Amino acid sequence: MTATAPAAHRAATAPRGDEIVLRTRDLTKQYGKRLAVDRLNIEVRRGEIFGFLGPNGAGKTTTIRMALGLIAPTSGSVEILGGDIATHRATILPRVGALVETPALYLYMSGRDNLRAVAAVLGGVPEARMDAVLDLVGLRARARDRVKTYSLGMKQRLGVAIALLQDPDLLVLDEPANGLDPAGIVEMRDLLRRLAAEGKTVFISSHVLTEVRQICTRVAIVNLGRLVTESTVEDLVRGSGDFTVTVERAADALALVRAQPWGRGARLDGDGTLITPAPNNRGRELTRFLVDAGFVPDSLAPRAQDLEEVFLRLTDNGNGVAK
Amino acid sequence: MSATLTVSPAAASTATNPHTARPSFIGLVRGEFLKVSRQLTTWLMLLALAGVVVLPFLIALTVGNLKADIQAEPLADLYRFMGQGLTILRVFSGPVLIIVTARLIGMEYSSGTIRVLLGRGVGRIQLLAAKLLTVFLIAAAILAAGMLLEYALSLFVLRAVTGNLDALKAINGTFWADTRVYVATVAISMAVTILMAAAITVVARSLAGGLSASIAWFPADNIGLVFFILANLLTKSDFWLLVTGDLLGPNLNAMPRALLSAQAPGSATRVLEGPLVPVDGGHTLLVSAIYAAIFLAVAVVLTWRRDVKE
Ligand SMILES: Nc1ncnc2c1ncn2[C@@H]1O[C@H](COP(=O)(O)OP(=O)(O)OP(=O)(O)O)[C@@H](O)[C@H]1O
Ligand SMILES: [Mg+2]
């Protein structure tokens, strides 16, 4: 009964990081004249928690629906676990657990019967497994109640339980934090981390950037159906190469720095901290320059950008739907 | 999402191995039965149907001259029992089957659960086929149980009214042959009804839409007869009467009469109106087959081709 055994097993057969678990190739979906998804190319590797970010209407759900074979791409293809989804749905999708948009449930049935009804499709799972996933999402005590009586967050949890039911290799979650309370979000985060540690791959779409920042190893940002960037979260927020400098007489320091060829982008932020590029992008040279000029910094550090800031910049202020 | 529990199945060997798991047709059908059986209304409808089947026999018990009737013309009365019973099964199982079919198909669209099932790798046509098979099995069970109940009730009424079962001696080979034909017409009617509800619900892709439109079908084309009569009177054109020869409901109504032997009394078969032009058995069968084929084609093609946006 340990979570490490399967992880070790999988690690032996499929070293994490090499295998591409999900790949889209020029994936495109057109609704009338609107391109909901436009030549999208992304790659998700085994063991990653991959964040799929974009403003409303960016095409996240449309992409996920195509990945699950629910809607047919206008052109392009999706490969999951090495097989083309258009031709190998029946063998690939049983290994994928998914939660698309709001959890879809049989409201008149109990939580457990919902699990039964979905499990039956692949030949059923043992009761013990249902108990295990119900425990995992904290719904065991309410499993006999009709889903109609569940709160939004409880329905979301049951949706996650359904996705986990058959121990998938790839978990695709569309806005999984939807409706969860803070404790639920923390639990979800822990759960996803543990799944990833077991060698499972997690693909989540989200708007909640702090959330993404905390758990995702890599992210893709989409806007208006197009891929804007795909990179690690660190690379994304490392961004500009600016440094944050706390120094006395910051305004004078700013004037001096701006006079330098490398310092034109320097500025002061709200609380009077100097934000500036460095000569040759090196903190050491910036320090030397300031000290030589008589400005001894109290502190100097590379400036991490806010993911939110990056997101808004890359998506044109999140103006997806407006266009 | 308690942190103390393992994520993977406790005993991988006893669980379905997810790496070899495939969509299972038997599993799908079992799942559909689970969904139907958890609906309280399914059971209430079956109970009501049983009530409707029993009712005419109870009424028969109170009719004063039944005893003399049976002794004088036992075969005619047996035909009446058989015909009435099967007609009631045919007419009243209709709404039950329509509701069960429309729900089974429509709720997946309305609740969005179709994306969960298809997301597991199930084929669209596979899912539709599992649903249709489930309803066909339910229909077969209703027919079998209904006939058994009616047979038992017939014996009970004969016994109660005449004190013996002598009337059964009047039964000849033709009676049994007619009974088989009648049962076949009920089965055909049930099948076409199920396909109609399935096609309409697939088109509507919602529970409410599918249910209301398919439940309205038979009332509409039966009541529609009145409008065709009016059109005929107003325009003096027989075209309107000919059209009724191709309506589904009236053809299903006319089918038993058109197919049974001459020995069967008219009173055993006439309940609802047939078309306004005379139709023979072959015609009623052909019309039903064409409707069935169209319904099936619509359901299959739309299910197969359409994006699932639910
Ligand atoms: N069935 C449809 N018919 C027409 N257009 C559609 C359909 N579904 C989605 N779209 C369009 O495709 C685009 C992408 O929608 P999608 O649902 O994929 O966005 P999303 O990124 O999931 O947004 P959100 O964050 O709001 O969930 C939108 O412009 C939307 O209007
Ligand atoms: Mg979405």
Asked whether residue A224 falls in the same domain as residue A264, the answer is: no
Asked whether residue A71 falls in the same domain as residue A170, the answer is: yes
Task: Name the nearest CA neighbour of B78 among B201, B202, B187, B162.
Answer: B162
Residues in chain B: 310
pLDDT of residue B19: 58
Confidence of residue A14 (pLDDT cuts 50, 70, 90): very low
Asked whether residue A30 falls in the same domain as residue A166, the answer is: yes
pLDDT of residue A321: 47
| Residue A139 in domain | yes
Asked whether residue A204 falls in the same domain as residue A164, the answer is: yes
Query: Cα-flanking dihedrals φ and ψ of residue A34, to 5°?
Result: -85, 130
- Tell me which of B210 and B221 has the higher pLDDT: B210
Where is A35: in which H helix or E strand? strand A34-40
CA distance B238 to chain A (A): 46
Please give the torsion angle defined by the CA atoms of residues B231, B234, B235 and B236, in that order, rounded to the nearest 10 degrees. Answer: 100
**Domain extents in chain B:** 23-305
pLDDT of residue B186: 95
pLDDT of residue B6: 44
Where is A171: in which H helix or E strand? strand A170-174
Provide the whole-model pTM.
0.86
| Residue A317 in domain | no
Residues in chain A: 323
What does the pLDDT average to over B24-53?
Answer: 95
Distance A36 CA to ligand 2 centre (A): 11
- Give how many domains chain A has, as a whole number: 2
Token digits of residue A158:
């049951």
CB < 8 Å to B119, chain A: 68-70, 93, 96, 98, 100
Asked whether residue A180 falls in the same domain as residue A280, the answer is: no
Asked whether residue A63 falls in the same domain as residue A100, the answer is: yes
| Residue A310 in domain | no
Indicate which of A64, A121, A145 best probes the interface with B, i.e. most B CBs within 10 Å of its own CB: A121
| Model pLDDT for residues A220-243, shown as the tens digit of each residue | 999 999 999 898 888 777 756 788
| Residue A186 in domain | yes
CATH number at A252 reads: 3.30.70
Last residue of some domain: A194, A215, A237?
A237
In the structure, ligand 2 is a single-atom ion and the residues with CB under 5 Å from it are A 61
Asked whether residue A227 falls in the same domain as residue A296, the answer is: no
CB contact under 8 A, B31 and A116: yes
Asked whether residue A12 falls in the same domain as residue A92, the answer is: yes
pLDDT of residue B89: 93
| Residue A2 in domain | no
CB contact under 8 A, A117 and B16: no
Asked whether residue A158 falls in the same domain as residue A274, the answer is: no
| Residue B162 forms contact with A (CB below 8 Å) | no
| B228 neighbors B276 (Cβ within 8 angstroms) | yes
Tokens 């979905």 label which residue?
Answer: A118
| Residue A312 in domain | no
Cβ within 8 Å of A, B 265-294: none
Confidence of residue A11 (pLDDT cuts 50, 70, 90): very low
Query: Cα-flanking dihedrals φ and ψ of residue B234, to 5°?
Result: -70, -45
Asked whether residue A257 falls in the same domain as residue A221, the answer is: no
Q: Is residue B10 scored above 50 in pLDDT?
A: no
pLDDT of residue A12: 41
Asked whether residue A143 falls in the same domain as residue A265, the answer is: no
> Which structural domain, as residue segments, surrounds residue A249?
243-302
| A200 neighbors A171 (Cβ within 8 angstroms) | yes
Asked whether residue A169 falls in the same domain as residue A129, the answer is: yes
| Residue A323 in domain | no
Q: Report the C-alpha gap between A168 and A200 in whole angstroms.
A: 8
| Residue A220 in domain | yes
